[in-house]
Amino acid sequence: MSGRLKIVMLASSYPRAEGDTAAIFLRYLAQALVRRGLDVTVLTPAEGSGGVSVEEEVRVHRVRYFPAHWQKLAYGSGIMPNLRRNPWLWLQVPFFVGAMSAALLRLVRSRRPDLVHAHWLLPQGLIALPAKYVFRIPVISTAHGTDAFALRGNASRMLKRLVVTKSDAWTSNTAATSAAVEGNGTLGRLCVIPMGVDLGKFSNGDRAGLRGEFGEQELVLLFVGRLVDSKGCHDLLRAFAMLPPVLRARTRLWFVGDGDQRMALERDAASLPDGGRVRFWGAIDHGRLPDFYAAADLVAVPSRDIEGQSVVLLEAFAAARCVVAARTGGIGLVVEDECTGKLVEPGEPARLAQAIEVLLMDGALRARLAANARRQAEDYGWDKIAARFEGLYRRTIAR
């Protein structure tokens, strides 16, 4: 099929402002598809009153699903952590599904797209299926990891399998993610396509700016992400406390991000002998992230739960930073142990501390792993990833 494709991307979250990091990879994907000549419309939940905007040639429809003041389901720590922390939010789920379903049907009727691409199997993949049958339009669903690994009940497994078998095709970011959905079988038309990274942006951070108050003899250990239990933040803090005192005295631990564990982490950090060397930067503008990676000597991804891919790893790779990560889910498929980073078992702070000590003490090893990681990052450039998705779109439509 030739000509300009019209795609509707259905998402559970999407950046709410220029510097917002919520599902930032979807903005990058949408913009990369536009650069390839596609017409892209994003349908996503609102945090406030909703509305329609055009953001760098991507049309974004934000849907209000509850009175604006009470909408707390989609953003912050994410849908699943929000539901675990506030069970009353389950009351918003049927309103969320109903509002998004109605909005999608209206949008497909008015825009007449060639294809709907639903990001996350639940609930977005399920929401997309009625549009397929009402308007005879192909649907592709994508599993990103949290939907594959976090929803493990029988009903959830049944719904996920329904989505992937009824979608015209489905994708996962790693083989680990798709295996979590498929179990022991093979379901639907699967294509493994990872999310990507902006190579130019993350390879041009300013190292000196954030390190102005201290010299190169100091070391920076960096965490980037949501401060929630599943990300292993407490394991990283314990590992920092286990470092030899001499090394700990010249190491700064930076947490970039926010979440429901922040207050507990700050309290625990304050009780450490070198707690003053732990800094919580909070949620920062996404445009500043390259500077933080550039300032870091080592990036830690100590996840406890199984992750599909970890965008933070790709950003660190693009920035040519050495990484230490938990061997869980798709992380072990992105990081090659002792080649592009160092892997440790999740939930074991002592082993994490040992790996951090080795890497911080050996600058030559860090440099070698970081150089290998930067070469691997080339495979994840958004232009390449968008080309793979466009190819899948065209094959699916042609079928």
Q: Is residue 17 part of a domain?
A: yes
Across all residues in the chain, what is the average pLDDT?
Answer: 92
- Cα separation, 370 vs 313, in Å, equals 11
CATH code of the domain covering residue 302: 3.40.50.2000
Mean pLDDT throughout 12-22? 87
230 and 219, same domain (yes or no): yes
Q: How confident is the model at residue 236 (pLDDT cuts 50, 70, 90)?
A: very high
State the Rg of the chain over Cα: 21
Its pTM surpasses 0.85: yes
104 and 179, same domain (yes or no): yes
168 and 278, same domain (yes or no): no
371 and 387, same domain (yes or no): no
Helix ranges (H only) for the chain are 24-35, 79-85, 93-111, 126-135, 146-150, 154-166, 175-182, 199-202, 207-210, 233-242, 245-248, 262-270, 289-295, 311-318, 331-334, 349-361, 363-377, 382-398
364 and 220, same domain (yes or no): yes
320 and 375, same domain (yes or no): yes
249 and 114, same domain (yes or no): no
Q: Which residue has the higher pLDDT, 329 or 137?
A: 137
- Cα separation, 174 vs 153, in Å, equals 22
Give the range of the structural domain holding residue 279, as residue numbers without chain letter: 199-379
What is the number of domains present in the chain? Answer: 2
28 and 41, same domain (yes or no): yes
60 and 92, same domain (yes or no): yes
210 and 142, same domain (yes or no): no
Identify the pLDDT of residue 150. Answer: 72
pLDDT at 284 over 60: yes
Identify the pLDDT of residue 157. Answer: 87
Q: Is residue 1 part of a domain?
A: no
Identify the pLDDT of residue 20. Answer: 84
Give residue-wise pLDDT tens across range 64-107. 999 988 998 988 767 877 888 889 999 999 999 999 999 999 99
Beta-bridge partner residues of 300: 324
Mean pLDDT throughout 386-399? 96
Mean pLDDT throughout 338-345? 96
